[in-house]
Chains A and B, each alone.
Chain A
Amino acid sequence: MSGINVWQQLVDYGSWSTRGMSIVGIGIHWGILQYVLGLPFMAFIAELIYFKTKDPDWMRIAKVLVKGTALVFAVGAATGTLVEFGLITVWPRVLTAVGKWLYFPMYAEVFAFIMEVLVIYMLWYGWDKLSPKARLVLTFFAFVGPWYSGAMIVAANAYMQIPTGLIPDYNATTGQWLYAEGYPKLTLVIPNSIASLLNVTTLQSLHVQIMGTTSDGVIAAVPVTIVDRLVYESFAGYTLNQSILKLVLKPSALNDPGLAAVPVLNVVNSIMDSTVRYYNIYLYLFESPDFAPSVMHSIGAGLTVSGFTAMAGFGTRLLSVKDKRYKEYLLKAFKFSVVFSLIVIIYQGLIAGHEMGVAVAHYQPEKFAAFEGLGVPGFTSIAELLHTGPIEKLLAYGTLSAHLPNYGYLMTHYSGWGNLSPTLGVPGTSTYLPPLIVDYAYYAMVVFGIALGVYALILTGYIAFHRADRIPRFWLYLLVPAAVLAQLSSYMGWAAREMGRLPWVVYGMMTLSDTITVNVPPAWGEALFSVFYIVIGAALVYAVYRFLWVPSKREVLDEVTY
């Protein structure tokens, strides 16, 4: 069998120029966010050390980190606004779904954003006007704000990865895929007013399972192929008499002309409203199994990238420092960032990353199969190359006797996703698989992470033996590549997460084609915007260089008042 073209497989999802623009725009925003999540936390720890030691160098370290936060936050806020408007204009249906059902975290995020803007700028502009204690309090909120903000955004994204109430379609103990039984299914609450119109026998023949009742509705596990179809019909303006729903309506309902003209959108809205209420409208999103690990992992990424970047910033200055006093300060900052980086990369790999992987393995087995890329003729799977199967089984399912989901099997049987819809006589769900390129992105993230961990361990070793000022230059020359690698590792993780859920934008509920605007901009326009984003990214790098790095070349310690 000829080899699979992983790039072609990714391109085949369509809407390439719009996706490209979003990848560039959100990617740059993601890169900037890492520092907003990490730098103020580092500054907070530096200030705590200042309170413990009363050594003014720690307050200077904190000030530099806060200056970096203020700079990148400004650009991050601007790119965030671009991303927000980008969603409104090119992916408007996602935002509509988000606004209708997932509104609360977005709503709460507004306040987080306000906290970020006001606190970070109050801290920076008011640095010399505030007492050290006031700075400490503000710095605390300067990292809590971005973490809170990140958690709220991630809540929406986590729901899109694994919707609350999702029942997965893979049994790792037996290695069986449950497509034939209609899985994956989504737990929905169908209001009694709608349920009373439906033919239960027909529903059961379509693998809809009745799970129980509430005071005003029926709890049902519904195959996601049906949910996806109804969401599509909602946005395409179908009415009941045009919908697949007519196949499950009781004859009396079917013959009611008033009912026949009801938009499917109204039905779906009503079902989603009662489902959200059933779970609790404020907690609905947070109950996604993806939420907690995603928050832990995202913050971990921010801390890791920030740690390695600060390490590179302080460490490379050590290479050419002449002033003795300035060197003392730099050494403290460097040692701090090295130890910080080691701690956070251990947390990121062994705790947050592990929890994330477990959530993916259990609830998004197709994505997990793409990560591992097993059993694909003509494709070089990293897992097969490195024989990591047993480790993956143990890490993901806790036992060596588990079965890893096999991508090769999916290639043959994945069309089972669409099986239900042809039964109803309507077009089925897309049978595209998550693209295999995520295998490379995922393993790039893992390998980069391990390399960074080893590097941080070596530098920490030098520090532990009080030889921080005698680290061979070879290791210091690697500081900048390590910072770039940390950013790249984070980017690969994000890419694997987002590309791995294709063809879904909301897993099991909305495919990519359901979400894109009907007014797709011309490719040249999207390319222009992409270039614009890239210029913004370059401007940030230049601004940091010019206003953070160049002044520090003077080897003068900033004045800090106490």
Chain B
Amino acid sequence: MMFYSSIFWLAFNFGIHIVMVNLVIGLAVLIPLLNYLGMKHGDQLTVSMARRLMKYYAATYGIAGVFGTAFTVFLFSYYPFATLVIGTVAIVPFAIAIAMVALNFFSLITYWYGWDRWSPRTHNFIGFLMAASALLIPFGFRGVFAFLNKPVGLYFTQSGPSLNVAEAYSNPTFWPLYLSSIVGALTATMIAIMAGFAIAYLKHPDNEKAYFEAALRKFFIPSLVGLLLMVPLMFAYLMSLTGVPYKFNNIMVGFGVTIGGDAAYNFTWIFVLHLALVALQFIALVYIAYAAFRGNLLSRHVAFWSVIGGAAALGTIEAGEMLNAFSQFPRFIASLNATQAASLPKPWGTFIAAYNNLTNYNTLAAASFGQFFTSFMMAIMIVVIIVFIYVVFFKGSSK
């Protein structure tokens, strides 16, 4: 596979974005839940834990938003005509996602700034909106992804292409993808929360002991259940891709499994990496369970394995998304080959045939100075993000 900077930058931005988005979804659900349960049981530690996590949520949302926007801009600058096709066809799934992104953002702002200012009932309601909207954002975007797997529900009228929305949501790849995304996001976030409090515990054992222990007690079993659920969901999604042989073959060829022809590329190694990271999460959780069984839950070893588990969880998301994206390389719509695309009604058939190919990018946007500029600015931005994370999460007050 040749190196294309256009694809590299898309993957880079998307990779950071998607990891952050998974944390956003998980935190949006878990924070109001923790706050509600803490308030209900008069458990101040749980309420305080929710409040601490809220700051992480806001910062995560900011970084997710930045890289999501960067991804969109890179997408339409490198692939303007592919964006035209997707934007025209997938208008309804996009509209769902847009509405939910906005609702999630506003509930985040009002939930965060309104803490202790709203009545508990109002605050809980806003928390519910925050959780519900976060769960529905991927309902829109995964609808678009499912379309990119296979354009189910695509019809052509005299004016152009249109999408039968009900049919689009019956896409065999949609529900396994959506459900595994939600379960994956919740699971990874729970493991990441344990890891976060483990880092705090390692830095300040006395101050953070109670929080770390509470995080383990609250999230260990749900995350183990989530991880167990992820295995069948992951394979359900893989099996749904048998309807998209091009993609399926690129994933499975390394195991000697292909359907109806050869694979164009071999991305089995990403799948193996993905599985290895899942296994690592299991090992981390098993170690924590073993330590708990031995009555030695609060130890540096457990904290260390929690951090390993958290890192593996985020790595699993990244690997899974990269596998999903690269396995359809170089196509935007995986199931359409050039001949099939060209046979669609004109002019859309012409557009799709020409611009379904990721190697057919806007050369103006990939000119040499542009690449230098992008790399230089990205390097600066990554440094700024590191400083940002340090100042917001780790730097102590100067008071």
Contacts and interface: CB of A to CB of B under 8 A. Distances in A.
Contacts of A119: 384
Given A75-B105, A114-B70, 13 more contacts: A77-B65, A88-B94, A93-B84, A99-B365, A101-B364, A103-B364, A118-B62, A122-B388, A125-B59, A265-B347, A539-B106, A543-B113, A546-B113
Majority-rule SS of B interface residues: helix
B102 A92 contact: no
B69 A84 contact: yes
A316 to B, nearest CB: 22
Interface in B56-72: 58-59, 62-63, 65-66, 68-70, 72
21 contacts: A71-B109, A71-B113, A85-B94, A85-B98, A88-B72, A88-B83, A92-B87, A95-B87, A96-B76, A99-B77, A103-B364, A104-B370, A111-B377, A118-B381, A121-B62, A129-B396, A237-B346, A238-B347, A518-B161, A519-B162, A529-B99
Closest 10 CB pairs of A and B: A237-B347, A99-B80, A518-B160, A103-B77, A99-B76, A88-B87, A92-B87, A126-B391, A78-B105, A96-B84
A511 to B, nearest CB: 17
A117 B66 contact: yes
Given A122-B388, A237-B346, A273-B364, A282 B399 contact: no
Given A106-B73, A518-B88, A532-B99, A96 B66 contact: no
A131 B89 CA distance: 51
A376 interface: no
Contact of A89 (B74, B95, B348, B395): B95
A86 interface: yes
A456 B221 CA distance: 64
B377 A113 contact: no
B374 interface: yes
Nearest to B385: A118
Nearest to A91: B87
Given A82-B98, A121-B388, A543 B72 contact: no
A471 interface: no
A237 B84 CA distance: 13
A128 B397 CA distance: 6
Given A104-B370, A519-B89, A519-B160, A95 B102 contact: no
Contacts of B211: none
A78 B102 contact: yes
A454 interface: no
B91 A521 contact: yes
A74 interface: yes
A542 to B, nearest CB: 9
A329 to B, nearest CB: 21
A92 B84 CA distance: 5
A109 B73 contact: yes
Interface string B369-392: 110011001001100110110011
A547 B113 contact: yes
B350 interface: yes
Contacts of A84: 69, 72
B81 interface: yes
Contact of A82 (B102, B364, B388, B396): B102
A107 interface: yes
B364 A281 contact: yes
Interface string A517-543: 111010001000100100010010001
Nearest to B349: A237
B76 A129 contact: no
A107 B365 contact: yes
A11 B55 CA distance: 47
A157 to B, nearest CB: 15
A101 B364 CA distance: 8
A319 interface: no
A273 B381 CA distance: 30
A110 interface: yes
B76 A98 contact: yes
Interface in B261-291: none
B106, B364, B399: most-surrounded residue (chain A CB, <10 A): B364
Contacts, number: 208
A115 B387 CA distance: 12
Contacts of A101: 364
B25 interface: no
A518 B113 contact: no
A100 interface: yes
A493 interface: no
A247 interface: no
B384 A115 contact: yes
B119 interface: no
B62 to A, nearest CB: 5
B74, B87, B88, B395: most-surrounded residue (chain A CB, <10 A): B87
Majority-rule SS of A interface residues: helix
Interface of A: 71, 74-75, 77-82, 84-86, 88-90, 92-93, 95-101, 103-104, 106-111, 113-115, 117-119, 121-122, 125-126, 128-131, 235-238, 263, 265, 273, 276-277, 281-282, 517-519, 521, 525, 529, 532, 536, 539, 543, 546-547, 561
Contacts of B369: 282
Contacts of A89: 87-88, 91, 94-95, 98
Nearest to B374: A107
A130, A238, A517, A561: most-surrounded residue (chain B CB, <10 A): A517
A95 B362 contact: no
B367 interface: yes
Contact of A95 (B80, B110, B117, B346): B80
B207 interface: no
B351 interface: yes
B101 interface: yes
Contacts of A546: 113-114, 117
Contacts of A99: 76-80, 83, 362, 365
Nearest to A102: B77
A121 B58 CA distance: 10
A97 B110 CA distance: 37
A276 B362 CA distance: 13
A263 B346 CA distance: 11
B62 A117 contact: yes
Given A78-B102, A281-B364, A128 B398 contact: yes
B109 A543 contact: yes
A358 to B, nearest CB: 31
B385 A129 contact: no
B159 interface: yes
Contact of B77 (A85, A106, A273, A529): A106
Contacts of A521: 91, 95
Contacts of A273: 363-364
B251 to A, nearest CB: 29
A92 B88 contact: yes
B347 A263 contact: yes
Contacts of A543: 109-110, 113
B111 to A, nearest CB: 12
Contacts of B73: 106-107, 109-110
A238 B351 CA distance: 12
Nearest to B65: A77
Contact of A92 (B65, B83, B377): B83
Interface string B331-365: 00000000000000011101100000000001111
Given A96-B80, A543-B110, A107 B392 contact: no
